[in-house]
A = this chain, B = another copy of it.
Amino acid sequence: MTPDEFREYGKQVVDWIADYLTNVESLPVRAQVAPGDVRRALPEHPPEHGEGFAEILADLDRIVLPGITHWQHPSFFAYYPSNTSGPAILGDLLSSGLGVQGMLWATSPACTELETVVVDWLAELLGLPAHFRTDDAGGGVIQDSASSASLLAIVAALHRSSGGTIAQAGLTGRHTLYVSSETHSSLAKGARVAGVGAENVRIVDVDPKTLAMDPVALDRMLAEDIAAGAVPVLVCATVGTTSTAAVDPVRAVGEVCRRHGVWLHVDAAYAGVAAVCPELRSLHDGVAEYADSYATNPHKWLLTNFDCTVMWVADRTPLLGALAIHPEFLRNAATSTGAVVDYRDWQISLGRRFRALKLWTVLRWYGAEGLRAHIRTGLAQAAKLAAWVAEDPDFELHEPQTLGLVCFRPRWPGRKPEEADAATLRLMETLNDSGALYLTHTKIAGRVVLRMALGGTRTEQRHVEAGWRAIRDAAST
């Protein structure tokens, strides 16, 4: 494709996306296809001869689009938002167009240095401590996802606790990790990948009301495990759990970690970015004093296209010690001087895209005040919805309602718990099948609960109202 063809088709694609974002509201939120529908509509064999771009775009409309669940639909309330925004899409596009690979500083200095700057900027915006900065002992880096950050935290923690012997000789003995029932599954996955094993992921009790980790129970479990000969490696405290947006008491958990010499990873994937608002800075209470690693996802609620997780470490030495390998083919003058950061030593992969561009375009286009306004819009929508639910005698609100998530269920008076749960799931399927909105569920204290997550880039108050109306109507029929 020549640059001039690219110019022509590129503008068609930009128009396609602008039209898509304008019209996405008119599409069913959740794809209405059955398994295999999309696959069957596509040719079984690859094309021998090249095709025109118009044909590709036509098939995008005809085959792909009906199979899309529209995460950017204003009535997408499932999971957590996965914000896109115009500047983020364009930052991503610039990254694709430049096509550089930033594994080393030398392979594109701007790719590395812009990343260092934007993660330092973000640390400042979120009130994270100065020692997270790359010019201090720590440093920030963009990862693809918080799952990778979890795995890397485990690997770095194992490196520190073993004095580096695991990287050389491999794992021996029993190494334990500490999570709660509400911790993201990436910790369990990371434990398997790192060779720790699922059985050594210890589940700490939560407060039954707030679903926050109980630091006293953690302390007790750590003491017992140490007495039994285990080597505790890492505790994960979550700021905004996946299920209910619960917030673990980072400071109290951190004090326990410090006492036992255990690495504290703070998984703030969902909620950390909300601290861009000073009134939510308390989400990070204890992070400065106790967190050894911390991750949050601008790709969830901060208007930056997936994938963009920012992970910081308080001390980069264990992370780099665990991961750095210097083969001859990567040797270069800049690395030898030690004057530069080579981000390949901060991640699983060697190669890396120029993801900092999209975070840069987002931070500049919106500015701190624009980001705060976006977070506050989601918070206000959630608070309003929670108030409606609380006022409605047919529904039960899960409290405390926190941040941009509202969890609730119909009361289904007169039904046994298991019947009520089945009815709640049926209600959700009916709503999702309608295409008018998209919800997911979770379980709280064993009971099925609906989750309605606000904070979508295009979600306005009227969408929340319409969603709530649809839920009430469906529950009462």
Q: A87-B53, A197-B170 are in contact. Are A14 and B18 (CB under 8 A)?
A: no
| Contacting residues, chain B, for A366 (C-beta < 8 A) | 50
| Contacting residues, chain B, for A82 (C-beta < 8 A) | 99-101, 351
- Cβ contact within 8 Å between A38 and B113: yes
- Cβ contact within 8 Å between A3 and B16: no
- Cβ contact within 8 Å between A79 and B99: no
Segment with Cβ contacts to B, from A323-331, A384-392, A462-470:
A323-331
A223, B16: Cα distance in complex, Å: 60
- Cβ contact within 8 Å between B84 and A96: yes
Q: Mark A13-51, 1 if CB is under 8 A from B, else 0.
A: 111111111100000001101011111001001111111
Please tell me which one of the listed residues B7, B16, B71, B334 contacts residue A101 in the complex, with CB atoms under 8 A apart: B71
A476 at the interface (CB under 8 A from B): no
| Contacting residues, chain B, for A1 (C-beta < 8 A) | 85-87, 365
Please tell me which one of the listed residues B42, B106, B188 contacts residue A325 in the complex, with CB atoms under 8 A apart: B188
Q: Mark A362-381, 1 if CB is under 8 A from B, else 0.
A: 01111111100000000000
Segment with Cβ contacts to B, from A61-69, A212-220, A247-255, A408-416:
A61-69
A70 at the interface (CB under 8 A from B): yes
Tally of chain A residues near chain B (CB < 8 A)? 156
- Cβ contact within 8 Å between A333 and B429: yes
- Cβ contact within 8 Å between B89 and A197: no
Question: How many of these chains are in the complex?
Answer: 2
- Binding site secondary structure of chain A: helix
Q: A14-B14, A144-B144 are in contact. Are A365 and B71 (CB under 8 A)?
A: no
Q: In the complex, how many angstroms separate the beta carbon of A321 from the nearest chain B beta carbon?
A: 10
A232, B96: Cα distance in complex, Å: 41
A148 at the interface (CB under 8 A from B): yes
A66, B114: Cα distance in complex, Å: 12
Identity of the chain B residue whose Cβ is nearest the Cβ of A102 in the assembled complex: B69
- Cβ contact within 8 Å between A63 and B99: no
- Cβ contact within 8 Å between B305 and A124: no
| Contacting residues, chain B, for A86 (C-beta < 8 A) | 1-3, 5-6, 9-10
A105 at the interface (CB under 8 A from B): yes
- Cβ contact within 8 Å between B369 and A155: no
A284 at the interface (CB under 8 A from B): no
| Contacting residues, chain B, for A369 (C-beta < 8 A) | 48-50
Q: In the complex, how many angstroms separate the beta carbon of A124 from the nearest chain B beta carbon?
A: 6
A35, B104: Cα distance in complex, Å: 12
- Cβ contact within 8 Å between B71 and A99: yes
Identity of the chain B residue whose Cβ is nearest the Cβ of A373 in the assembled complex: B50
A185, B86: Cα distance in complex, Å: 38
| Contacting residues, chain B, for A75 (C-beta < 8 A) | none
Q: A31-B109, A55-B364 are in contact. Are A14 and B11 (CB under 8 A)?
A: yes
| Residues 298-347 (chain A) with a chain B CB within 8 angstroms | 299, 305-307, 322-323, 325, 327-331, 333-334, 337, 339-340
- Cβ contact within 8 Å between B171 and A117: no
Identity of the chain B residue whose Cβ is nearest the Cβ of A307 in the assembled complex: B353
Q: In the complex, how many angstroms separate the beta carbon of A267 from the nearest chain B beta carbon?
A: 12
| Contacting residues, chain B, for A327 (C-beta < 8 A) | 185, 242
Q: Mark A94-130, 1 if CB is under 8 A from B, else 0.
A: 1011111100011111110110110001101100000
- Cβ contact within 8 Å between A170 and B171: yes
Please tell me which one of the listed residues B3, B109, B370 contacts residue A50 in the complex, with CB atoms under 8 A apart: B370
Q: In the complex, how many angstroms separate the beta carbon of A178 from the nearest chain B beta carbon?
A: 15
**What are 25 A-B contacts with C-beta separation under 8 Å?**
A10-B90, A42-B117, A47-B363, A49-B368, A49-B369, A65-B110, A68-B98, A69-B100, A71-B101, A72-B99, A82-B99, A82-B100, A93-B96, A99-B306, A155-B192, A167-B197, A170-B174, A184-B350, A192-B322, A194-B194, A195-B196, A243-B328, A307-B349, A307-B353, A348-B348
In addition to A144-B349, A306-B353, 8 A-B residue pairs with Cβ atoms within 8 Å of each other are: A31-B109, A42-B113, A50-B367, A69-B108, A147-B348, A171-B171, A171-B195, A329-B441
User: Nearest 3 CB-CB pairs, A to B?
Assistant: A195-B195, A67-B110, A1-B86
